[in-house]
Structure 1
Amino acid sequence: MLIVNHEQFYTTQLGAGLGLVDETKLLLCLYESGMTTNELYTIALNSGLFPMVSARRLRNIIAECFSPRYIKSGVADTLKKLEPSIASSSFNQLLLIHTAIANRVLFDFIVEIFWSKYSGGYDSIGTDDAREFVVNAVREGKTQKPWSDSVIKRVSSYVIGCCADYGLLSSGRVSKRIIQPIRMQQSTSLYLSHWLHFSGLGDNAVIHNECWKLFGLEPLDVRDEFKRLAKNGWMIVQSAGDVTRISWQFKTMEEVVDVIAQS
């Protein structure tokens, strides 16, 4: 099963809303299993939870942000159950994963620019870095059609702002954002490993999946992460050379959610 789509064009979809952390939590409260985008919009509009948001803006948030990230990926139910029971910093990492998968431009920016700056010892990332990244992407044909300078400028600000919303960069309207120290939470690695597994990936495909790169992890790092999870009895990991076999102790994501909520 394809998790990260290399053929996905870069879009301006992040412009409908960046991280939207607070809005996502409110929408998850309203969301019920099997609900469509239109049903959620109608309930949200009548809920009184978004008094400062216009009807058109609310529709954009749900149709362009919430739905592609969480409904179409089938994770809204799981996130709804998890949100009340884990720390905001951990929950934000889960939102980051699914937002990046739905927006390839953000995914690649984090993997290619954020982590290269981080590992290179830089202390900040500027709007110029983001602009150069987007300009190169347009030149390489990663957008469906060439973007104008104004669109390039906007998308550059979107990726920077989204990284700030999820705690990778400092907030504030400044040209340079401070790189924040980030480490994958144990609950995040437990969630991501099992979500990939239940999505139909084999053991080694789980370990080599690109989603781990959002947290700066390469396959060897992922294996070490799994060995830490194994110490809690959550999986059994056997490695020989480049081949790793995993005995998965949980049979459903519901079991994983219960463990995360209690840990």
Structure 2
Amino acid sequence: MTSAVYTTQLQAGLGLVTETKALLDLWVPDMSTGQLQDVARGAGSFPMITARRLRNIVTECFAPRYLVSGASPAAHLKMLMASVPLADLMQLMLLFTSRANPILGDFVREIYWARYAGGYQQISNEDARAFVERAIDDGRTSKRWSETTVRRVAAYLTGCCADYGLLEKGLKSNRRILPYRATPTASAYLAYDLHFKGLGDNAILTHQDWQLFGMGREDVINEFKRLSLKGHVIVQAAGDVVRIGWKHQSMEALCDVISKG
């Protein structure tokens, strides 16, 4: 679980997979959010969306998710977008959206994967609502939310999971749990992202971001062994000691290798 305060920011937009891809097509480095809005309106990429709605998508969804850390998430997704499957992009979008919205990340880690591991077939809005209510009782929000807000945020959580492929899509209060595991692209990206953030090898293996994909330390070690077969890393494991050799010198180099297949 994260220690960050939970917000209602997901109300501005859930997964927004199609919208994110359209904005990435238009975005260039050093472009401000205002410039991106202007370009998006001028390009006619969002003909059914009002100017106010577009502004909300750009400033409250796209920017907090993809224009942080020097806009590196946007730059990397743009590099990968033309050559990797949509499933890979959606997993990276889940990663960035969960970092921007800790309530989503904790819901996936604590509720989705607990239900998945327990053999449950569905997750309901009531499950999400109970999670939100516990979080409020635990002081995870800056103030108590109204019953209406609790109900809406619960629906946002399950809806966002559906957008990213963890739950079935549709306007439903009960959603079927779908098979879900990290793709090699998502695993390689996350591994190197944590490495270039300065984490040591053992800290990387136990980082909470892996739990978004249902992975504990041993799962991550096995994933690194699979990445070694693809030439991304070198893994040396002896008992509890794991050493990782990193083959790529930057995130851009990794993305370039991935995009070339």
TM-score bin, normalised by smaller chain? over 0.9
Of 15, 23, 26, which aligns to 1:27?
A: 23
AA in 2 matched with 1:220? E
Which whole-Å CA distance do the structure 2 matches of 1:201 and 1:40 have between them? 33
Which whole-Å CA distance do the structure 2 matches of 1:68 and 1:157 have between them? 21
SS in structure 2 opposite 1:245? strand
Match of 1:172 in 2: 170
The structural deviation recorded for 1:82 is 0.5
Residues 122-172 of structure 1 show CA distances to partners (whole Å, capped at 9, x for unaligned) of: 000011101100000001000011001000001000000000000100111
Match of 1:140 in 2: 138
Match of 2:4 in 1: 8
Match of 1:91 in 2: 89
SS in structure 1 opposite 2:234? strand
1:53 lines up with 2:52 in the alignment: no
AA in 2 matched with 1:18? L
Q: CA RMSD in A?
A: 1.1
1:227 lines up with 2:235 in the alignment: no
Match of 1:260 in 2: 258
Match of 2:120 in 1: 122
Residues 211-247 of structure 1 show CA distances to partners (whole Å, capped at 9, x for unaligned) of: 0000000011101100111112221111233221111
Which whole-Å CA distance do the structure 1 matches of 2:161 and 2:66 have between them? 18
TM-score after normalising by structure 1: 0.96
SS in structure 1 opposite 2:95? helix
Runs (4+) of structure 1 moved beyond 4 Å?
none
Which whole-Å CA distance do the structure 1 matches of 2:222 and 2:32 have between them? 39
SS in structure 1 opposite 2:139? coil
Residues 61-116 of structure 1 show CA distances to partners (whole Å, capped at 9, x for unaligned) of: 01100000000143111111101110011110010100011101100000000000
The structural deviation recorded for 1:39 is 1.9
The structural deviation recorded for 1:195 is 1.1
Unaligned runs of 5+ in 2: none
Which whole-Å CA distance do the structure 1 matches of 2:256 and 2:79 have between them? 9
AA in 2 matched with 1:126? S
Which whole-Å CA distance do the structure 1 matches of 2:230 and 2:129 have between them? 44
Which whole-Å CA distance do the structure 2 matches of 1:241 and 1:146 have between them? 47
Shift in alpha-carbon separation, 1:36–1:243, aligned structure 2, 3 A: farther
Match of 2:186 in 1: 188
Of 200, 203, 222, which aligns to 2:201?
A: 203
AA in 2 matched with 1:87? P
SS in structure 2 opposite 1:200? coil
Query: What fraction of aligned residue pairs are identical, expressed as a percent?
Result: 50
Which whole-Å CA distance do the structure 2 matches of 1:139 and 1:89 have between them? 35
Which whole-Å CA distance do the structure 1 matches of 2:142 and 2:4 have between them? 9
SS in structure 2 opposite 1:95? helix
Unaligned runs of 5+ in 1: none
SS in structure 1 opposite 2:82? helix
Q: After alignment, is 72-81 or 115-124 more displaced?
A: 72-81
SS in structure 1 opposite 2:236? strand
